[in-house]
Structure 1
Amino acid sequence: MKNTYSLVEITPQSHDVILEIAYATEKNFTGKPVYKQPLCLMHEEAASRLQRAIEVLQPMGLRLKIWDAFRPQEAQQELYDCAPDPEYVSHPQTGVRPHCRGIAIDLTLVDQFGHELEMGTEFDDFRSLAHHGNDQVSNLAQKNRLILAGAMNVAGFNPIQSEWWHYQLPDADHYPVLKESELGSGIL
């Protein structure tokens, strides 16, 4: 396994991204804050690959808005309790849990003014409309999803079929699942 404590903070200054950490607000499917702080943490390898995606998008005048990245296992349990569907929320004990490993990120594209591009659904939409390749969303949304997927793929991230906004590093089992108590980060 990789180094357990190799998480780095992603900030607008370090990576030229917009942060809107959804689970630190009420603007998420639980309707309440799950995190105490709006931190964006990733395993150092994932952070390096994120930088590559940022560089791919820059010539197009596009940036990334991040809704979630590292999530302690305790928070995963809270999310699963609200939506116990492993197609959208990994089981906190037996699922892959890429967010709990610091190797997953939930994000979208924004234009040069910081406005989100049309993607066909909002973040955390647990319907088939949010699935990659869904042709029931507009042509513009399909195009924007493909741009995001292309940049993330070039950077070395894989999608999951059910969420256009979710990308993760391959080989999740090479990275340990982390609990907040192991980090002392105060996310929860």
Structure 2
Amino acid sequence: MKQAPDGFVRLRDVDSSILEDVRYATPHNFTGDPVPGYDEPMCVLTRPLAEALHRAQQQLVPEGYSLKVYDCYRPQQADDRFVEWAQNDDHRMKDEFYPGLAKSELYSAGYIAENSGHSRGSSVDLTLVRLPAAPQRPYVPGEPLHPCTDPVGERFPDNGVDMGTGFDCFDDRAHTDDPRITGEARANRDVLRDAMTSVGLQGYSGEWWHFNLPDEPFPGEYFDFPVNSAAFR
């Protein structure tokens, strides 16, 4: 069993109040299957990023919000699986995650990559949830899919606030500053961005949910230890 390197922590050990909805450990992701390397639905991060999220959570809770993470450290084998998936003919999840694109376009459009900052443990995908947090309905494999670009109430019922699209939505509307996102969804994106930048994180213009730790401890490295509790024994 591969062990997590020194410098990585489980988010729950730094701040157990932050909600975790680790989608790649479940079938509810663009591949339609649990992703290799995600043995447990658990958020693992470098300690500086986990501590930054803790500081943001301390700011947000008094305002009636909690953070909810979708993806944290990602084993390299998961990115390898994404590249493999992008080249096969499995289109089960198209109607939700890439309704306006051909699967063959996802790699060239930058939605799928061979390497990711997630595999260095210093990138995180997350949203905001209004407190008290409503239960998150589980995804049922085979259930009817609805485009991630549909209005809130019509797309998959995430318990997070309305951000204008669902998570991992391969569409221009997911771009942080897409002008079609207005009103409450725009305000919610601004709250998330302001909280993240206030603790030193940087957003990514192509995905409203993605933030990076600029001064990361493992630049240029891509780890492949599994996401499970045994990696921390």
TM-score, normalized by the shorter chain, greater than 0.5: yes
Tell me the percent identity.
Answer: 33
**C-alpha separation between the residues in 2 aligned to 1:37 and 1:173?**
24
- Give matches, 1:49-60, under 5 Å: 49-60=52-63
**C-alpha separation between the residues in 2 aligned to 1:14 and 1:55?**
10
1:30 equivalent in alignment to 2:75: no
**C-alpha separation between the residues in 2 aligned to 1:91 and 1:64?**
28
TM-score (norm 1): 0.86
Could you say what secondary structure the match of 1:164 adopts? strand
Could you say what secondary structure the match of 2:125 adopts? strand
Could you say what secondary structure the match of 1:113 adopts? coil
Could you say what secondary structure the match of 2:55 adopts? helix
1:87 equivalent in alignment to 2:118: no
Q: Which runs of 5+ in 1 are unaligned?
A: none
Deviation at 1:6, TM superposition (A): 1.2
1:152 equivalent in alignment to 2:196: yes
- Give matches, 1:161-172, under 5 Å: 161-172=205-216
- Give matches, 1:38-57, under 5 Å: 38-57=41-60
TM-score (norm 2): 0.70
Q: Which residue of 2 aligns with 1:21?
A: 22
Match for 1:11: what amino acid?
R
Could you say what secondary structure the match of 1:27 adopts? coil
Could you say what secondary structure the match of 1:133 adopts? coil
CA offset digits 1:107-136 (Å, max 9, x no partner): 100000223100000000010000011121
Deviation at 1:78, TM superposition (A): 1.0
Runs of at least 4 residues off by over 4 Å: 171-174, 183-186
Could you say what secondary structure the match of 1:11 adopts? helix
Q: Which residue of 2 aligns with 1:112?
A: 131
Q: Is the 8 A contact 1:87 1:162 kept in 2?
A: no
**C-alpha separation between the residues in 1 aligned to 2:230 and 2:174?**
32
Q: Which residue of 2 aligns with 1:177?
A: 222
Q: Is the 8 A contact 1:64 1:110 kept in 2?
A: yes
Q: Provide the aligned C-alpha RMSD in A.
A: 2.4
**C-alpha separation between the residues in 1 aligned to 2:45 and 2:201?**
13
Match for 1:38: what amino acid?
P
Deviates more, 1:12-21 or 1:160-169: 12-21
Could you say what secondary structure the match of 1:67 adopts? strand
Deviation at 1:12, TM superposition (A): 8.4
**C-alpha separation between the residues in 1 aligned to 2:199 and 2:85?**
32
Q: Which runs of 5+ in 2 are unaligned?
A: 87-106, 134-158
Match for 1:140: what amino acid?
E
**C-alpha separation between the residues in 2 aligned to 1:147 and 1:174?**
29
Q: Which residue of 1 aligns with 2:119?
A: 100
**C-alpha separation between the residues in 2 aligned to 1:56 and 1:85?**
38
**C-alpha separation between the residues in 2 aligned to 1:74 and 1:103?**
17
Aligned residues: 179
CA offset digits 1:124-151 (Å, max 9, x no partner): 0010000011121231111100100000
**C-alpha separation between the residues in 1 aligned to 2:130 and 2:45?**
24
